[in-house]
Structure 1
């Protein structure tokens, strides 16, 4: 794990959390995945950021409603030679940020490939946020914001343009994903408890329902389009 991720890693274990949510960053190499993560985890941006080798991850604790969530965000290399790690990378992930670079159209054209990979290796109901990064470089833009919105709408994804450099919408993109996962987790817990309560109990016996906090294993098939 890179040194600049460690501070949040230790902080995350210092507090008692209600949930652990795993999410992944995917997209072509050089779209800014690592800087999005370092901005979210430690409010850092590294101009000398090198390509990620293999997998790195960072933690950050987030308060949503009355729950403390430990978000575990995984970052992987976008290069094809590291695709062998794919299945383990997606395992247990409840959400994903699918990232492209608005100044490089080829990274936008690659989104279909990444979506196919998501559907092959990820859960069917994973929360996915489509992110057009490097919005600060609008003079070099090759992908219009409307194109990102239309693709997100067609695929049932959330959408947001971000700038890791200027820290624009980075927090919002991650928090939107985490909040969506949290909401679905609560809904599934309520539904599970409701189903237990509907069990037929033999006459003369009582049943006690224990409302344990559980870690979600699934999340919604659709997200809002923005």
Structure 2
């Protein structure tokens, strides 16, 4: 799967949100199926790639992670450039990280393409007894802003793959439609319905107390 010659699409996805909400852990869980309890704060920018198949097409996702601290904000424009997807991450045990989502979303929309696919992620849903952000609050925000929404646990691997796959499949649906359009093939967008291979394992994760998907753009 590492043979780039076979890649049909390459998508850049950015992870944004406050420091210590688990962005790096989500990235490690999705790309390498790893979780490091002692991971240090990300300094600067790093990215990982993962190649997967969507609708019989080989898709390479390049997922960028940056520090949430204010002093690294200088990377913004380069960080967002070319991104077709964004994972907006908060810690569901820390209310301020959710309250800052509006600011992160405003910054994202100020720098990114207007058609960017955005997934709101409430991470650390394994810590149910420490919940500080009701699912309803996040769902309401996601619906108002037209975002997808899921709760995840990088620690327990709950919904991590589902969240990324949902976003990547939505990106694929939009980009492949554009390709068809560019070829003067507008009338065939219905043939893309085969992309509904989304979220292969969400059913088994429904016991996480509200890990649900909102409407995607």
Q: TM-score range by the shorter chain?
A: 0.7 to 0.9
Q: State whether structure 2 residue 179 is matched by structure 1 residue 189.
A: yes
Q: How does 1:187-226 map to 2 (within 5 A)?
A: 187-194=177-184, 224=215
Pick aligned residue for 1:101 from 91, 107, 112: 91
* RMSD over aligned Cα atoms: 1.7
The aligned counterpart of 2:206 is none
1:90 maps to 80
Give the aligned partner of residue 67 of structure 1. 57
Q: Aligned residue for 2:207?
A: none
Q: Which runs of 5+ in 2 are unaligned?
A: 187-213
Unaligned 5+ runs, structure 1 = 1-10, 197-222
Following superposition of structure 1 onto structure 2, how do residues 96-135 of structure 1 map, counting pairs within 5 Å?
96-135=86-125
Asked if residue 44 in structure 1 is aligned to residue 38 in structure 2, the reply is no
1:29-62 alpha-carbon deviations (Å, 9 max, x no partner) = 0000000000000000000010000001000001
The structure that has the greater radius of gyration is 1
TM-score (ref. length: structure 2): 0.84
Per the alignment, in what secondary structure is the counterpart of residue 124 of structure 1? Answer: coil
Residue 195 of structure 1: how far off its partner (Å):
7.0
Deviation (angstroms), 1:225: 5.0
Deviations 1:147-172 (A, max 9, x none): 11110000000000000000000000
Taking structure 1 as the reference length, the TM-score comes to 0.81
Q: CA deviation at 1:12?
A: 3.5
Aligned residues: 190
Q: The residue matched to 2:184 in structure 1 has which SS?
A: helix
Q: Classify the secondary structure of the residue corresponding to 1:194.
A: coil
Shift of 1:14: 5.5
